Amino acid sequence: MLSVSEVALRENLYDYCNRAISKNEPIIITRELEQHVVLLSLKEYEYMMNIVQQSMSPLVENNMLTNSTQDVLDDVLNDVNMSDTFSSVEDLMRDLNA
């Protein structure tokens, strides 16, 4: 997996976007204070979200998530800064199934 600085990304954004798309290669964008970002092609992102959907769907549909499991999954969403997009695992699953 390629790792580049913010400065290098700014200078070569077009090339890095093409690389992420053509090679399905995630690119880590390094930033100060360990606040790194990953650049993914839409195809790779959708693939990953599909895996999440497939693995979580049976648990959510059958109400098999315990409160502690739900809390852990909600924490994961918060840790990856998706909390602004999805307020809970149920919201995530509802959006994935839409």
* Domain, as residue range, for 54: 42-97
Same domain as 55, residue 34: no
CATH of the domain at 7: 3.40.1620.10
Alpha helices (H) in the chain, listed in sequence order: 6-11, 13-22, 42-61, 67-79, 89-97
- Mind listing the pLDDT tens digit for each residue in 24-43? 889 999 988 888 999 999 88
pLDDT-derived band at 94, boundaries 50, 70, 90: low
Quick check: 82 pLDDT over 60? no
Same domain, 16 and 49: no
Domains in the chain, number: 2
Tokens of 87: 């307020």
| 83 pLDDT tier (thresholds 50, 70, 90) | very low
Are 90 and 51 found together in one domain? yes
Average pLDDT, the chain: 75
Sheet-wide strand order for 27-30: 2-5, 27-30, 37-39
Do 11 and 56 lie in a common domain? no
| 72-81 pLDDT tens trace | 666 666 655 5
Using DSSP's 3-state secondary structure scheme, residue 44 falls into: helix
9, 25: one domain: yes
Is residue 54 within 8 Å of residue 87, measured between CB atoms? Answer: no
Q: Is the domain of 14 the same as that of 52?
A: no
